[in-house]
Structure 1
Amino acid sequence: MLETPHHKYRPFAPVNLADRTWPGRTLQAPPTWLSTDLRDGNQALFEPLDVDAKRELFALLCAIGFKEIEIGFPSASRADFAFVRDLIERQLIPEDVTIGVLTPARGDLIDRSIEALVGARRAIVHVYNAVSPVFRDVVFRKTKAEVMAMAVDATRRVRALTDRRPETQWVLQYSPEAFSATELDFSKAICDAVVDAFKATDEARVIINLPATVEVATPNVFADQVEWMHRHIARREAVVLSVHPHNDRGTAVAAAELAVMAGAERVEGCLFGNGERTGNVDLVTLALNLYTQGVAPGLDFSRLDEIARTASRLTRLPMHPRHPYVGDLVYTAFSGSHQDAIHKGLCAQRPGAPWDVPYLPLDPKDVGRDYQAVIRVNSQSGKGGVAHLLEAHYGVVLPRRMLIGLGAAVQARADETGGEIAAAEIWRIFCDHYLKDSETVRYHGYDLDTRADGHHVRLRLAIRGRVVHYEGCGNGPLDAACRALPGAIRLCHYEERAVRAGSDAQALALVEVADPEDGQTVMAAGLHENLVTASLMALVRAWAGLALSAAIGAETGPHAVLGADGRA
């Protein structure tokens, strides 16, 4: 058992921001997105990407719509340096995409980073140094003044080197690493000094990136920190305020959303949340969260499964089946009550109307999914799931009473197998229960004539191996058949459907008949290319299921009896 942790872990102090404004705001527009899959994401992989894989991932990020992409850490890796040069020299960077690289606040590493970017149309030089107390006191053993000097000296060096290469449009980005664990007044002071050192203007703004390098508090605390900086940073008009949330507490998406409400204009993260430890903020989830609130995210995830497969193949990271929006099971319901609600919601949803389907916050079709996997049946399911699968895969909508009976049969099969019951198996169970002839009575054929007094039908049945025929007249084929069959059965219910099977579409007839003496009812179905044939097959099967059919023997009263070979 975990002991009471108060002696070991200290709760993070809240921000004194009594007049915070972010709780009353809503997200109205997307932030500027930066993908760091090729830098932060790549350095967190078991096996970093090779050049071919990096090229493919870069092309994917461009196709999705990212306009800012951090492509590497060229001062730390020959492979990263070579990749940056490869993109620039082979002119693989679209005109509207800005690349960026990361460098520590060290002179020689800054030099190497800018060398890697020579010839780029537009580039972000992202400089960072850690500024929190534990880094100052334990890792660097430097004073606040010395830590600030590191950042300012690095900024001046970047400015001097980039001024010599005016052919590139240079953007400085500065990150006070471990911002979320740093005193706000010191974060402000060091960021103000960087903005001044780079001589930022309204037209040439500096990106100040506030990283939750490690999540140390709840998302509302991070939002308060961001709003405090948004209000107090000295030259706000010369700053693009950015955030880089990590997911140590599992709340990076919430932290990013609240940070944007609090004044952040830009968000850094990775596809599907890849990154160190528990990962960076998941940009797919964040973007689609905006989308479901009616805000166009500016990123194209309409082919989300293809994006996920490509990312998983390149990174060798599996996709959890419950991953928001993209997991194999996130649009799937096994629970009977969920299935019933989803099925009814999909039936009620009208084209062009606002999406309003229970348990589905996103229309699966918007991200390239269909509805076939929305409902899957197992032992936890009910008739709603059975109904949905039959309709989705076969176009068949069953009457409620028939659906209740089929649902019980499917439930029994699921309990027996302990696994999932696919649509094809449900159809087989339906066929076994409603499309199967009895051992005693089998449909053999019919003749139909239309006369002045109505429809005349001559039914041929095989009863206990002998073929007999029954004749009757009525106002339609079914009415005539009911009058022809012994027992004066009553037709309670009749429906017809077309079973989807391409060019081999067949008619499905569904009937319920009753014994007028004891009120017993039986439901059955018939499937045939011809609707009348399907209807008569269903009627005969239902009649055969009644108790009165068991009393029928070789003698058939006034009706003619044919031989076993079918001849009179």
Structure 2
Amino acid sequence: MSDFITIFDTTLRDGEQSPGCSMDTEQKLEVAKALVELGVDVIEAGFPIASPGDFDAVQKIARKYGDQSTICGLARCRTEDIDRAWEALKDAQNVRIHIFLATSPIHRQFKLKMAEEEIIRKTVDMVRYTADRMSERSDITRPNVEFSPEDAARTELDFLCRVVESAIDAGATTVNIPDTVGYATPNHFYKVISYLKKNVPNIERAVLSTHCHNDLGLAVANSLAGVEAGARQIECTINGLGERAGNAALEEVVMALKTRQDYFGVDTRINTPKLCPISRLVSSTTGMRVQRNKAIVGQNAFAHEAGIHQHGMLQNRTTYEIMRPEDVGYTGQNMVLGKHSGRHAFRDHLKRIGYELTDEDFQRVFDDFIALCDRKKDVYDADIAALIDKQIHHGPETWKLVSFHTFGGTGTIPTATVELQHLDGKKVKDAAPGDGPVDALFRCLDRITHITPTLEDYSVRGVSSGTDALGEVTVEVEQQGRTYHGKGVSTDIIEASGLAYLQALNKIAAGLGAATIHPQHGV
């Protein structure tokens, strides 16, 4: 068995199926670029038949990054799905088509209404069809076809063996074993993979893969159990995104294999210092915040507050840390340079914490950094990360905040006065009352932009410590069945709120929202 585990990232497909997490093509290209830099082996870029947008994203990602990573498209066991996937992928160098068909009794009876022999016949026909389509290209001598028996964890083992053997005989080079509904436990999943290894005669002709959902909080544990049993590919997502409770988190399985290499005896090709930066990128792009105590990439992942822990850390970091923060690109409470630092020193510091910016982006971030130093005594790496996120991932700006003023307090009517500048240069000023200063500010922004979405979610967190800490506000709004996200940062929470809401309004103006109901289904 290989000493390396293939990391198959499905953030752009399964992760995007999380309600409200859909991304447009440009956002997908940005995440795909980060996945390539991370060292992901296979990128499942989407479900080409699901929509013209999905097809466009898969095709562009394949053409741009197919020489650096294997780009994969998902398809049901239908010829039209497979044709559409191949059309999106055929121009790229390294490509894979991933097809799936449910096999569990409950899916056979209630979803497919197909008998066991029909399932096997369909599997063989569609794997062969996929391999034949890919063989149309003269340089492809062994088509890269992945087959998934959907809901494999709830499928009878003897029948599962027959399906897997048939898929491999038909030409599948990877067979993925999905725990589609997060039903398995580690021992259960270990036994499934072990049984396949022992009872499928041609199993060595294909790579066994895991695809575990997190409904019981066991996706990472089940994936690692699969590796112990002989699986050599893990399907996962950044931050564990995915339908319902999500998928196995890429950063967790990778660091578990790296940290406990002595136990698992395998490795990955992942450039781990890129883990925290891509976690922030995906969080910002999808609007899905990472919980503070999230393993590996959470804000508190390397925080130590208990006195006995702090004492141990001062003596030797390994007393309470099994990983080094720099190994995952973590940026936390490390204090950075001050406002008298020059551009060269600031750029060098950005490189040390994992950021390479264009000259234009660097100048905007540096200007924000100098302005922040005038408002905040201590500036930390986490503050810098927030400024970079604000400048690089802000999206289009139909309207720009020029100035605002809010008034509120006990026994008064909260009001807000706002001045915005349109991209055509025209400035507009208005005022509005509200239930509080933030509500008044949002109402005023609605009046000026003539956009009145429904606020679905509003959250505030401190980026770093202290009463002068940067505040980060995220909002989610809904307009005509589509979801839009916005994020703002400032030492003034009301200003951060206005910036976040205005960013969402600008996305509405540009039509960059995501449908709240996504048409995709998968493993």
TM-score range, shorter chain: 0.5 to 0.7
Residue identity matched to 1:42: E
Percent of matched pairs sharing the same residue: 31
Deviation by residue 1:138-194 (Cα, 9 ceiling, x = unmatched): 122221111222212212221332232324463111000000000011011011112
In 2, Cα distance between equivalents of 1:279 and 1:424: 35
Instruction: Specify the SS of the correspondent of 1:174.
Output: strand
2:31 touches 2:282 (CA, 8 Å); kept in 1? yes
Q: Larger radius of gyration, structure 1 or 2?
A: 1
Are positions 1:362 and 2:323 aligned together? Answer: yes
Choose between structure 1 and 2 for higher RCO, CA contacts under 8 A separated by at least 6 residues. Answer: 2
Are positions 1:32 and 2:6 aligned together? Answer: yes
Counterpart among 139, 144, 148 of residue 116 in structure 2: 144
What displacement does 1:28 show? 9.6
Are positions 1:104 and 2:76 aligned together? Answer: yes
Give the aligned length.
338
What displacement does 1:235 show? 0.7
Partner residue, 1:133: 105
In 2, Cα distance between equivalents of 1:116 and 1:312: 27
Residue identity matched to 2:203: R
What displacement does 1:225 show? 0.5
Are positions 1:289 and 2:256 aligned together? Answer: yes
2:273 touches 2:329 (CA, 8 Å); kept in 1? yes
Deviation by residue 1:86-127 (Cα, 9 ceiling, x = unmatched): 234xx4115241111110111222222222222222211111
Counterpart among 220, 224, 242 of residue 257 in structure 1: 224
In 2, Cα distance between equivalents of 1:74 and 1:234: 33
Counterpart among 153, 161, 164 of residue 191 in structure 1: 164
The structure-2 alpha-carbon separation of the partners of 1:322 and 1:138, relative to structure 1 and needing over 3 Å to count, comes to: same
Gapped regions of structure 2 (runs ≥ 5): 336-379, 381-461, 469-523
Partner residue, 1:64: 38
Are positions 1:162 and 2:134 aligned together? Answer: yes
Are positions 1:182 and 2:149 aligned together? Answer: no
The structure-2 alpha-carbon separation of the partners of 1:364 and 1:181, relative to structure 1 and needing over 3 Å to count, comes to: same
In 2, Cα distance between equivalents of 1:270 and 1:369: 18
The structure-2 alpha-carbon separation of the partners of 1:359 and 1:95, relative to structure 1 and needing over 3 Å to count, comes to: same
2:177 touches 2:209 (CA, 8 Å); kept in 1? yes
In 2, Cα distance between equivalents of 1:160 and 1:240: 20
Partner residue, 2:210: 243
In 1, Cα distance between equivalents of 2:36 and 2:53: 21
What displacement does 1:422 show? 6.5
1:219 touches 1:255 (CA, 8 Å); kept in 2? yes
In 2, Cα distance between equivalents of 1:187 and 1:339: 51
What displacement does 1:137 show? 1.2
The structure-2 alpha-carbon separation of the partners of 1:314 and 1:186, relative to structure 1 and needing over 3 Å to count, comes to: same
1:84 touches 1:116 (CA, 8 Å); kept in 2? yes
Are positions 1:280 and 2:251 aligned together? Answer: no
Q: How does 1:43-54 map to 2 (within 5 A)?
A: 43-54=17-28
In 2, Cα distance between equivalents of 1:284 and 1:273: 8
In 1, Cα distance between equivalents of 2:40 and 2:19: 21
Deviation by residue 1:515-536 (Cα, 9 ceiling, x = unmatched): xxxxxxxxxxxxxxxxxxxxxx
Q: How does 1:40-439 map to 2 (within 5 A)?
A: 40-88=14-62, 91-168=63-140, 170-198=143-171, 206-294=173-261, 296-346=267-317, 357-369=318-330, 372=333
1:332 touches 1:373 (CA, 8 Å); kept in 2? no
Deviation by residue 1:415-458 (Cα, 9 ceiling, x = unmatched): xxxx9x96999xxxxxxxxxxxxxxxxxxxxxxxxxxxxxxxxx
In 1, Cα distance between equivalents of 2:160 and 2:274: 41
The structure-2 alpha-carbon separation of the partners of 1:121 and 1:325, relative to structure 1 and needing over 3 Å to count, comes to: same
2:295 touches 2:301 (CA, 8 Å); kept in 1? yes
Residue identity matched to 2:29: R
1:312 touches 1:319 (CA, 8 Å); kept in 2? yes
Gapped regions of structure 1 (runs ≥ 5): 1-26, 199-204, 347-356, 375-392, 394-418, 426-568
